[in-house]
């Protein structure tokens, strides 16, 4: 997964497409999260943030991870690719270790999931 993140960053250096970079990063997060929560592929908003928060990272990192959707789905918005890459890398390093995942605090919720 970390090698895939490196490939995404290299591609970004070549094409400068922030939406493609954010989309690729977001997909990596979803793939890893699905290993621990089958609903992760469909979650949005607070439900997605709660899933990301099951990995012990600080609030600033969570904010950068959540901002990826803004870059993907909205008109051009400011995007700090270096900060986003660092946040994704930090989250992935921890998330790839099953012992780092906190147990879900409640039953899975569809809040924020697509219908």
Please state the rounded mean pLDDT for residues 59-87: 91
From residue 65, alpha-carbon distances to 49, 83, 114 in Å are 9, 10, 19
**The pTM of the whole model exceeds 0.85:** no
- pLDDT computed for residue 106 by the predictor: 58
Please state the rounded mean pLDDT for residues 63-88: 91
* Residue-averaged pLDDT of the chain: 89
Please state the rounded mean pLDDT for residues 29-52: 94
Please state the rounded mean pLDDT for residues 27-47: 94
Residue 107 has pLDDT above 90, yes or no: no
Quickly state the pLDDT bin for 26 (edges 50, 70, 90): very high
Q: How far is CA 86 from the centre of its chain?
A: 11
Please, which contacts does 80-84 make with residues 24 or more away whose CB atoms are closer than 8 Å? 81/9, 81/12, 81/18, 81/21, 84/21, 84/22, 84/25
For 17-21, 52-56, 63-67, 107-111, which range has the lowest pLDDT when averaged over its residues? 107-111
């Amino acid at each position: 997964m970390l090698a895939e993140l490196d490939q995404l960053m290299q591609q970004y250096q070549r094409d400068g497409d922030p939406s493609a970079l954010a989309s690729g990063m977001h997909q990596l997060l979803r793939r890893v999260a699905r290993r621990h929560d089958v609903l992760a592929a469909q979650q949005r908003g607070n439900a997605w943030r709660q899933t990301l928060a099951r990995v012990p990272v600080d609030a600033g990192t969570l904010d950068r991870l959540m901002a990826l959707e803004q870059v993907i789905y909205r008109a051009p918005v400011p995007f700090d690719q270096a900060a986003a890459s660092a946040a994704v890398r930090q989250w992935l390093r921890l998330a790839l270790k099953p012992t780092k995942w906190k147990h879900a605090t409640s039953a899975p919720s569809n809040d924020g999931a697509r219908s």
